[in-house]
Chains A and B, each alone.
Chain A
Amino acid sequence: MKKIYIASAISALIFASCKPSVNITTPPSAGNTDLRNYLAIGANMTAGYADSSLYVSSQFASIPKRLYDRFTLVTGVTGAKTSFIQPYLKTDNGFNYASDLTRVPKKVLSWVRHCNGDSSLSPIYYPGGYNLSDADYFTSPGANGQVNNIGVPGMRVADLPVAGYSSTLNMYAKRFFVGSSTTPMDELSYRVRNLEPTFFTLWLGFEDVLGFALAGGQGDGSMNAAVATGTTNYYNTNDITPATVFKTQYEAAVQVAISRGSQGILINLPDIERLPFFTALPIKGLYIPRQTLADSLTAMYAGYRYTFSLGYNNYIVKTHTGVLRQAVDGELLLMSCPIDSILCAGWGSTRPIPQEYVITTEELQNIRSATVIYNNFIRDMALRYNLPLSDMNTFMRTMSSSVVFNGITYNAQYLSGGSFSLDGVHPNPRGNALIANNIIGTINNFYKSSIPLMDANNYAGVLFP
């Protein structure tokens, strides 16, 4: 036996000296671009908004931060040099305003007991509450007040020319905009002059459609909306931004972004209808377990000639104009619709689901055409200004059906899909990393660079209690 041990000790020694290793060294390069100084321009996705709020770790997981981390791997003169400063909040509690303008923290997952006694995993406000210090003005620790990520959650292309935007209209803008009476376009212009970026990402336009969708299509979706009463150039957040306004302001933003010779990339709009917020609750969700119930509903809606049958039926809803009707296939029920009202208050069956929770076929058409018109324009801008276009519309379409990455299959199923945060609209850190990888792919292709991708699975996905 002793012999065996000696033999194994010797061979272990020999083996340790020839343990295999694999090193693949493709030196990252910036190719034809220059990553020294990166400025991220945009709104929700840029700022790192997730779980219905902005909070410190969501900002650390933002898409621009992910991109910057990769840019730093590029060595040499065109690699990332300066630090990447984001206007961080102070806590991880999250800070936002609910629709009724009460202050709220971020959302977290929890077991929620419903009115009918069932429980389900649902998002609730973070039990620790919000922290008022998160509304404090952000003072950059960098030289010259440097801020690299100027993404403002909720900011639309339509908001770019609105004077005083940061003082009253957007608390996130208020946290770091330099002037309170100036416009977001002025702020952009100031940041470009201040930072002299060599590279930028510009992801704007999503919020110009999103507000209409989140409000259940309760605004003007015709793309001919009028300015809000009492204002000269402000559009209600529930409206879809008129195409003329969008085009003028978007092009102006691109011109400002490149005004100091910066290169960069434009990112287009994903399809809103594929986001979990709009798919989590099926419109055909009215479950009728007994024929007598079906019969009594059919009798109740005899005047409308709706018939109900055993199993799943389309909900009874109110349309945009307040007319009661049964929903048709393809219409969308928003995740914001209170489940308890459906379960116990007869919403969708004996009473219609209010219009602010439903996107009807017409409203869906508004959303689709706006997305197409905006995206066509963004593509034109990319061509005109010789910038690459990150086709996020196509990528997030793939991501919503399935993207396989190192053994994980991601899709846009709420919670189980793994890539979206609890608000169902914005990606979680893993989704951000998948998106950042796709953007890097486009950058590498266009600028002949070789910026390495990241292991998306190394970041947080949906966290279950």
Chain B
Amino acid sequence: MKPRIVLTLFAVISFLSSLLMGSEEDRLFYDGVRAEASGDLDQAVHFYLQAAKLSHSSNLHGNLANLYFKKEQLGHAILHFRKALLLEPTNKELSINLQFAYEMAKTPPLPNDFAHSYFASDTFSFWCVLCAVVFWFGFLVFIYLFFFNPSRAVLFYFTIGWIFSGGLTGYATHFSHIQNSELLREGIAILPTENEANQTKNISLRRFAGETNSANTTLLPGQSLIIDLGKEGKIRTHESADGKNWFLARSQDGKKKGWIKEDEFGWLIDRNKQE
């Protein structure tokens, strides 16, 4: 009887304390807000990054982006605005801030054409569901017509329509799947923290994975890049002699390609959480 009471009390106290104190990421977030209010931007960034290691929220990444913007680290600002928008795509304020950050960084914004807007990565789930609905609905109707409707003509025309609509939704699903898989490999070019204040410096995409190699081309801070896949469908990476990881990347439009160091870009979606 006695151990039961102790365990119950312990559980109740733990529950109440968790309610009162909040989670660790909450605590870190509020620490960040306080540090920012007191003007200590570096400390605020530190707290927010600590919170981002535990969990993510659009407000957290939005605040981080704002701080980086104030610190004139535009690459980091764009990276975190993008993260915030992934979590809350309908947030108009974040979109406008992102546009302004692109403008300030003199970086071309994300393409907003028909294909990239209607088949964007965040529409993948929609297309998946629609594709499934079209397939199953058509299949059920087809079975009905096949077994229960004597008119073969109706069956024929319906089948043509079904295949056509299924093809369209299937294509949309496939295209958005490509966008989605690219998003998982997307990074934002950033300058290492100590250099980012220097607006004139660009990020090099090198011919080979090595510090001393000449640059094939350069990217502006905040510019998107896609990490290439190897033959096995895995990300193309190389570990140099100094222990640094290099990735083969290309720009969003595919015109620029080269090797980039791991600290010269930020993953839009953390790699460890992808796996």
- Please indicate whether A and B come from the same complex rather than being unrelated chains: no
A interface vs B, CB < 8 Å? none
